[in-house]
Amino acid sequence: MRLPLLFLAAFLLAACSKVNMDNYNRLKVGQGYDEVVAVLGQPARCDELVGVRHCVWGDEQRNIKIGFVASKALTLSASNLK
């Protein structure tokens, strides 16, 4: 009985993901990090190198990647969004 409920819960969580085309289209170059987090939620990971913070929302198959300089979005990219 628990196994089907776990699959259902996982499916519902995936369906509610903020990593989708509608939210990607709400993002703009120049938006602040906090503005992006308000749209997408917390990133899966962020790495910083030479003053550029690269953050990823989602996973390897479906994601949104944003590069921030001085806490402002400079680059935006997406893979396999629905």
pTM across the whole model: 0.80
Q: How far is CA 24 from CA 1, 3, 7, 43, in A?
A: 37, 33, 27, 13
Q: pLDDT digit of tens for each residue in the chain (82 aa)? A: 565 554 544 444 444 689 999 999 999 999 999 999 999 999 999 999 999 999 999 999 999 999 999 999 999 999 999 8
What the block records as the tokens of 80 is: 């396999």
β-strand 72-79 against 63-69: which pairing, if any? antiparallel
Domains of the chain: 18-79 (3.30.1450.10)
Rounded Cα–Cα distance for residues 40 and 1 (Å): 33
Rounded Cα–Cα distance for residues 61 and 46 (Å): 17
